Amino acid sequence: MLEAKDLRKQYPDKLALQGLNLQIEAGEVFCLLGQNGAGKSTTINLFLGFVQPTSGAAYINGLEVAKNPLEIKRHLAYIPENVMLYPHLTGLENLGLFSQLAGFAYAESELRDYLEQAGLPPEAVQRRVGTYSKGMRQKVGIAIAVAKHAKVLLLDEPTSGLDPKASNEFSELLGKLSGQGTAVFMATHDLFRAREVGTRVGIMREGELVDVRPTSFLNANELEQLYLHYTH
Ligand SMILES: Nc1ncnc2c1ncn2[C@@H]1O[C@H](COP(=O)(O)OP(=O)(O)OP(=O)(O)O)[C@@H](O)[C@H]1O
């Protein structure tokens, strides 16, 4: 569902990503770990088509991102640390608008269902998004991803700044989505959530993916030790 082949990004004075090779299947949750500046956001931006590779290629659902910039947007949803929504519109209106942009015309009852499934409290649905907490905005982001039937979900530090309960709810939602076959690729500093929600973790150091492991063989302490091993 997501693939990188010798993907490389050279900025004028920084090699941000050095020849990444990776495949992520439907239903997988891949968590990318690494220190600040390791190249995680660059990798996500290459999959989104926000930056162009210096060489190699990124693929979403078999389509080369750089050659199919519009088509790939139909297959993916992106949740950054701060989900970009229209603050003067309600959650319901935001979801309606973003679904329409993705080509789906839903009835209000369907939009409400998506927001409810994403865990947004019913009282908030008709409230302006400008009054939402960060966790609530993340839930609208998930509702948008589900409503547009995204096959791939890209997330950049989605749980940073969420309280433990909101972070837990968010992880459960990701688990549900991957259970429905969505491929999830998440850059995070949250080792605890990575182990909990991830099917695999990868560690990036100075633009290089130095280790990839299934989380099923790692306890929390082992993951922390592994991370420290590569980042010291
Ligand atoms: N537009 C740019 N121009 C020049 N250098 C850049 C650009 N974007 C990123 N870089 C550099 O590329 C390297 C990788 O940055 P990137 O943002 O991908 O790291 P990251 O792992 O996401 O870090 P963080 O955890 O802080 O978000 C850094 O050294 C960064 O300064």
Residue 81 exposed, middle or buried by CB count within 10 Å (0-12, 13-18, 19+): middle
* Separation of CA 53 and ligand 1 centre (Å): 14
The most confident of 7-16, 68-77, 159-168, by mean pLDDT = 7-16
Ligand 1 surroundings by CB, under 6 angstroms = 11, 14, 16, 34, 36-42
Report phi then psi at 78, rounded to 5: -125, 130
Average pLDDT over residues 140-169: 90
User: Of 18, 42, 54, which is best to mutate to test ligand 1, by the most ligand atoms within 8 angstroms of its C-beta?
Assistant: 42
Q: Which pLDDT belongs to residue 77?
A: 93
The most confident of 126-130, 164-168, 216-220, by mean pLDDT = 126-130
Question: Domain 2-85+137-231 belongs to what topology?
Answer: Rossmann fold (3.40.50)
To the nearest whole number, what is the mean pLDDT of the chain?
Answer: 94
* Separation of CA 39 and ligand 1 centre (Å): 6
* Residue nearest ligand 1's atom 30 by CA: 37
Q: What does DSSP say about strands 152-156 and 183-187: parallel, antiparallel, or unpaired?
A: parallel
* Separation of CA 57 and ligand 1 centre (Å): 19
Measure Cα distances from 165 to 16, 84, 136, 161 in Å. 34, 22, 12, 11
In angstroms, what is the C-alpha Rg of the chain?
A: 17
DSSP letter at 20 equals: E
pLDDT at 167 over 90: no
User: What residue ranges do the domains of the chain occupy?
Assistant: 2-85+137-231
